[in-house]
Structure 1
Amino acid sequence: MNKILLKFPHEFTTDRLVIRLPMSGDGKVVHNALQASINELKPWMPFAQKDQTEEETEINIRESHIKFLKREDLRFLVFHKETGEFICSSGLHRIHWGVPKFEIGYWTDTRYCGKGYTTEAVAGLTDFAFKELKAKRVEIKCDTKNRKSRAIPERLGFHLDAILENDDLSVDEQELRDTCIYSKVKL
């Protein structure tokens, strides 16, 4: 079957969150979150190295929507269920439909850090991948120095498969970095 024909929900909820595909018009709230969080994102995220305009963020959102529909990359935006406020961007990336396997990535608006929202979103995405997409493997990769990012898979019981030494460059390309690979598998 062609992957574009795969049917699965484009939105789901957890206890406190609504998790859905990006929609036209979401650029404004995502841009505001990026602006509020840029200092915390800059050490870890390549996209945070360059200032983005609201228009550029909206273009990125619309491109993400298209990739979602084409089943090339499944970016999700996370909103508070009661208030509707944008909390984080996450998703199922680097998809290998033949296995199927997915890599979860995430960044959170700094104003919502420390409240368990990202952990709840990642738990929801992991469950979604296994139940709705019949995943056999879900991975989370992160820089060994990014303690906050590492804490999420560790809290959720992901297995640390490996630490790849000298695997990547820091986002400023000034030093070699090691990469943690965490996974959950379904037999």
Structure 2
Amino acid sequence: MFIHKINENLSLKLVDIRDAESIFSLTNKNRKHLREWLPWLDITTRLEDTQSFVKSCLTGYAENKSMNVMIIWKGEIVGMASFNQINWANQTTYIGYWLAEGFQGNGIMTKTAKALTEYAFKELKLNKVEIRAAVENKKSRSIPERLGFVQEGIIRQGEWLYDHYVDTVVYGMLREEWHNK
């Protein structure tokens, strides 16, 4: 079981089917907050939906194609982060994340994204990490900006959010840039 301790209060733990109920409960409590920027809330309405998601995450991990982790803050699940896709041919991965509303402002997500980026370069030996966020999602965009990622461009109408498209900003970090920081 993958567990990565970032500091005494914060760790990342590979999703597990036994945690599906806690993940679903956290999602439900934060549904309105998360729905603003995440497109999957309307298809995650039952515990069984989250159980299916966790099973697909475990399959992706077993096949070395992705890695989804729970963010644990002071012993409590407060969000999720992931390598949504690991592209071994191009040695690239894409980090995604979400955090429960009541835990924002503690540096949790910046530390999480930093730890995942470090893991991608040191342990997985990847060459590039990308983070994408909606142009208007200032909180999410502040994470890669704080970590020194380079804004590489904007994908026009890059994501469908329920009833409209949003433009998506692409941030990238190369292994050599990360090590030279």
2:33 pairs with 1:35: no
**2:38 pairs with 31, 38, 45, which one?**
45
Distance of 2:48 and 2:71 partners within structure 1: 20
**2:4 pairs with 5, 12, 15, which one?**
12
Deviation >6 Å, runs of 4+: none
**1:171 pairs with 150, 161, 167, which one?**
161
CA contact (8 A) 1:73 1:93 kept: yes
Q: CA deviation at 1:148?
A: 0.9
Distance of 1:58 and 1:45 partners within structure 2: 18
Question: Identical aligned pairs, as a percentage?
Answer: 26
**1:115 pairs with 74, 96, 106, which one?**
106
Partner of 1:60: 53
Which secondary structure state, in structure 2, belongs to the residue aligned with residue 25 of structure 1? helix
Partner of 1:150: 141
Distance of 1:51 and 1:59 partners within structure 2: 10
CA contact (8 A) 2:15 2:68 kept: yes
TM-score by length of structure 2 reads 0.90
Q: CA deviation at 1:157?
A: 0.9
Segments of 5+ residues of structure 1 without an aligned counterpart are 1-8
Partner of 1:184: 173
Distance of 1:39 and 1:177 partners within structure 2: 18
Q: CA deviation at 1:99?
A: 2.6
CA contact (8 A) 1:44 1:146 kept: yes
Distance of 1:41 and 1:158 partners within structure 2: 24
TM-score by length of structure 1 reads 0.87
Q: Deviations over 1:74-120 (max 9, x none)?
A: 1111112xx31001111112221123110000011112112111111
Distance of 2:87 and 2:52 partners within structure 1: 25
CA contact (8 A) 1:87 1:117 kept: no
Q: Aligned-pair RMSD on alpha carbons?
A: 1.6
Which secondary structure state, in structure 2, belongs to the residue aligned with residue 72 of structure 1? coil
Amino acid at match of 1:181: V
2:103 pairs with 1:102: no
Segments of 5+ residues of structure 2 without an aligned counterpart are 177-181
